[in-house]
Structure 1
């Protein structure tokens, strides 16, 4: 059961400070660009060399991930190997609890779903589809509202009137109504 450290640094002083605080058997270091980003070769190497029930010491979670997907992957790796995590600059380890992990997993799935939607939107051929006109719901409700006398044949707004209020063609209005009323 080794105690290993990992950090991303830009300056030698950061390494020295970490060594003094962390008290680790081995340190894995990735040098960063001016914005704190790195290719993470040392992190990958550390994760490959970890053994069951080792302890990993880091400054904070920003050192091990650039986004929540990477953070979740890091935490999964530690959990699978029963590796303890020590953060020197944070007292909040709630992300490592089962509830914290579940929350993180939900965020990752949310981001994946949103990214998939964006990708599908970009792949669609032709003009980009526009959302409903800004006041569509208000006009639609007026279009579907019956007059006070209760007659089914008389509506609050006719289709052409509704289209005119939305500044779109009547055919486009009918198309939007069909899409809006579609039951899946």
Structure 2
């Protein structure tokens, strides 16, 4: 059972301060650039060495990941190994629960799906097309309630009648 520390730091002072805050058997340190980014070589080495009976101590989750996907990967690696994680920042400790991990996973998947949709939209050739004109739903409801005919609906939407009919077909299509 080894107590392992991990730190991402830019200055010697940060390293010295952490060494006085925690008591660990071994410490892994990644040095950062001026913006706080690093290559995570020490983190990777630490994760390879850590076992099921070990405890990893970090200041905060920002030290082990730059985005939610990386954070989810880090936490799932620890779960798979059965390694305990201790955070020095008490405000972040709630994320270590199963519910906190589920929430992070949901957010990570949500972001991936939205990015995928956005990339698909960006890669589609041609001019972007707005599927429905502004106010379509309100006009459609009144049209279906029989308050006016399709030509009047098209006029209210400032589109031609054929376009309105096609939009209604697409809108009402049942898959």
TM-score normalised by length of structure 1: 0.87
How far apart are residue 68 of structure 1 and its match? Answer: 1.2
Aligned to 1:77: 77
What does residue 178 of structure 1 align with?
A: 169
How many Å separate the matches in 2 of 1:160 and 1:32? 65
Instruction: Name the SS for the 1:7 alignment partner.
Output: strand
Across the aligned residues of Structure 1 and Structure 2, the Cα RMSD in angstroms comes to 1.5
- SS of 1:29 mapped into structure 2: strand
Report deviation, 1:57.
0.7
Task: Name the SS of the counterpart of 1:175 in structure 2.
Answer: helix
- Provide the C-alpha distance between the structure 1 equivalents of 2:127 and 2:109, rounded to a whole number of angstroms: 29
How far does residue 92 in structure 1 lie from its aligned partner after superposition? 4.3
The count of corresponding residues between Structure 1 and Structure 2 is 175
Task: Write the deviation string for residues 37-61 of structure 1: whole angstroms up to 9, x where unpaired.
Answer: 2222221121112122211110001
Q: Aligned runs of 1:29-178 on 2, under 5 Å?
A: 29-146=29-146, 156-178=147-169
Give distance in 2, aligned partners of 1:17 and 1:74. Answer: 24
Greater helix fraction, Structure 1 or Structure 2? 2
Distance 1:116 1:20 in 2: 45
TM-fit CA distance, 1:90: 2.1
Distance in 1 between residues matched to 2:79 and 2:14, nearest whole Å: 28
